[in-house]
Amino acid sequence: MAARARNARLPPEVNRVLYVRNLPFNISSEEMYDIFGKFGAVRQIRLGTSKETRGTAYVVYEDIYDAKTAVDHLSGFNVANRYLIVLYYNTSKQSKKTGTKDKEEELRKMQEKYGVDGEQHARAKKEET
């Protein structure tokens, strides 16, 4: 039965990298390995350390099926009175963020090239309304 489950087709969002939110700020790497290691071999864990990323982590499994099992079992798991939010890492969200930055840079360069002041244009539109 387990072999057949391994051959089952996985949804497209499933991957080896998990994004974990709502972690206690004082959780250690060792505790993270204890929690996530129960579901398979963990290649890497990266805990957020900056003010914006505290309470989050990325967990990378060796095997995609282990990652799926971890998501299935650890979503909503209580750690130090906090319920974990475990999601698959979504690369398209990351690329959209960088895509926006690239577009803004491209727009700025075009404004310089053609001598257009974006703020002046925004004021003119505002005055029209």
Residue 121 shares a structural domain with residue 60: no
pLDDT above 90 (res 82): yes
Residue 53 shares a structural domain with residue 18: yes
Name the nearest CA neighbour of 71 among 35, 105, 44. Answer: 35
Residues 68, 14 contacting (CB under 8 angstroms):
yes
State the pLDDT confidence band at 1, using cuts at 50, 70 and 90: very low
Residue 48 shares a structural domain with residue 102: no
Q: How many domains does the chain have?
A: 2
pLDDT for the residue numbered 74: 96
pLDDT for the residue numbered 65: 94
> pLDDT for 6-56, tens place per residue?
567 788 788 999 999 999 999 999 999 999 999 999 999 999 999 999 999
Helices (H) and strands (E) in the chain, counts: 5, 6
> pLDDT for 92-121, tens place per residue?
665 555 567 777 777 777 777 777 776 655
CATH of the domain at 43: 3.30.70.330
Q: Residue 99 — φ and ψ, nearest 5°?
A: -60, -40
Domain holding 70, by residue range, is: 2-89
pLDDT winner (highest mean) among 1-5, 25-29, 120-124: 25-29
Whole-model pTM: value is: 0.66
